[in-house]
Amino acid sequence: MKISMYVGLLLTTLLLMSMQPASAKNKQEKEISDRELWCNTLYRMAAPVLSNMSEGKLQEKMQVELSPTWDGRDQKVTYMECFGRLMAGLAPWLSLPDDDTTEGKQRRQLREWALKSYAQAVDPQSKDYLLWRKEGQPLVDAAYVAESFLRGFDALWVPLDSLTKQRYMEEFTQLRRVDPPYTNWLLFSSTIECFLRKAGAQSDTYRIVSSLRKIEEWYVGDGWYSDGPGFAFDYYNSFVLHPMYVECLEIFTNGGKNRIWNAPDCSYERAQKRLQRFGMILERFISPEGTFPVFGRSITYRTGTLQPLALLAWRGWLPKELPNGQVRAAMTAVIQRMFGDDRNFNAGGFLTLGFNGSQPNISDWYTNNGSLYMASLAFLPLGLPADHPFWTDAPLPWTSKKAWEGKDFPKDHAYYE
């Protein structure tokens, strides 16, 4: 099907849905399963990006939105932010085997577009060749591209042709030109080098180990890391610190089987326990109405705040305090609350600057609407098959819902090592 025809059908469907009376909409919402809601939301987020980029037309077609306080860097960083962050959240879902269900058809189409888009991203002759060799920002979003390969290695990296793979090796390697700030950025260097290591290419061990040692030093207790020497109360533990730290440790220690001789405090198992504690905190943040506290910078990343919960569920690491049905119900409430209407997409179908709607004035000086595809990171559990307990267990009320309804709920306690 031609892309233009696909887009026309999608827009017609959305228009018809918007014209339905409230009773019909409510009936449809009641009939759709949690997984269908997640699939449809992620597909809607991804399709405009990948359908265009697969044909080398993303930079031509994307409606770019920049923060009112934009710092003046080359706005082409937008496209790598959009693609890399989207793929890091999408990779687990695209790694499932093909089937003939509606979801399977969505997934197969996105994977076909994604593989073509990966090639466009590193082809210097493509109009969608990304901004790899200018500015420092590409280090960040190349790390999310690398993370997508780590999360979907067999489905997304292995099928690429040898020339495309070689181009990625070259682009990742030349990013050593960027001297990362003394913050979560250290993990971007580490993630790229860990991917090179997994792919059998030459990697920089010092960049990996020095980053891991520093993150370990920044652990402040009860599941929280400091983003640099000074603590900031924001969601960067969700966006970067917990996921990339544990994933890099997994690669470098071979899943905890090996120890880092010159960084003995960097423990894969302990990092998982901290991630579990932070996931418990995030679950308690979700209100009975499916909202979460709005604080800190980069709040425009929307559901990206839930990435640790998503990662725990996808990897089978949820602690006993967080049953599958409870986590799914809580996350579904947030996804429904945030994406249950059209307020978070612009006229071209791309995410719009804001938290829940068009709210450009809350964006930071480094934010464009490509940055916002961090929202996809909440959808990692779609990498679990539809018959997994995460999807089949009965929904359970989450902690704050039980608390505010006067029901028994578990007492909270700090995590000590």
Other CB atoms within 10 Å distance of the CB of residue 149: 24
Question: What is the spatial distance between Cα 83 and Cα 148, in angstroms, rounded to a whole number?
Answer: 10
**What is the length of the chain?**
417
Q: Which amino acid is at 115?
A: L
Residue with tokens 């608390």: 403
Q: Residue-wise pLDDT tens for the chain (417 aa)?
A: 445 544 554 554 454 445 455 554 455 445 899 999 999 999 999 999 999 999 999 999 999 999 999 999 999 999 999 999 999 999 999 999 999 999 999 999 999 999 999 999 999 999 999 999 999 999 999 999 999 999 999 999 999 999 999 999 999 999 999 999 999 999 999 999 999 999 999 999 999 999 999 999 999 999 999 999 999 999 999 999 999 999 999 999 999 999 999 999 999 999 999 999 999 999 999 999 999 999 999 999 999 999 999 999 999 999 999 999 999 999 999 999 999 998 999 999 999 999 999 999 999 999 999 999 999 999 999 999 999 999 999 999 999 999 999 999 999 999 999
Q: Note the pLDDT of residue 1.
A: 45
Nearest to 336 by CA among 117, 35, 110: 35
Q: Note the pLDDT of residue 10.
A: 54
Tokens standing for 189?
Answer: 């260097």
Other CB atoms within 10 Å distance of the CB of residue 389: 12
Domain residues of the chain, as ranges? 41-180+275-404
CA dihedral 20, 26, 28, 31 (to 10 degrees): -170
Q: Note the pLDDT of residue 15.
A: 45
Angle in degrees, CA 28, 33, 34, rounded to 5: 120
Q: Where are the alpha helices (DSSP H) in 135-184?
A: 138-151, 162-174
Tokens standing for 365?
Answer: 């000086």
Task: Name residues whose C-beta falls within 8 Å of residue 26's C-beta, 6 or more positions apart in sequence.
Answer: none
Task: Name residues whose C-beta falls within 8 Å of residue 21's C-beta, 6 or more positions apart in sequence.
Answer: none
Residue with tokens 């894969």: 268
Q: Note the pLDDT of residue 129.
A: 98
Q: Note the pLDDT of residue 12.
A: 43
Q: Note the pLDDT of residue 31.
A: 81
Question: What is the spatial distance between Cα 182 and Cα 187, in angstroms, rounded to a whole number?
Answer: 10
Question: What is the spatial distance between Cα 103 and Cα 100, in angstroms, rounded to a whole number?
Answer: 8
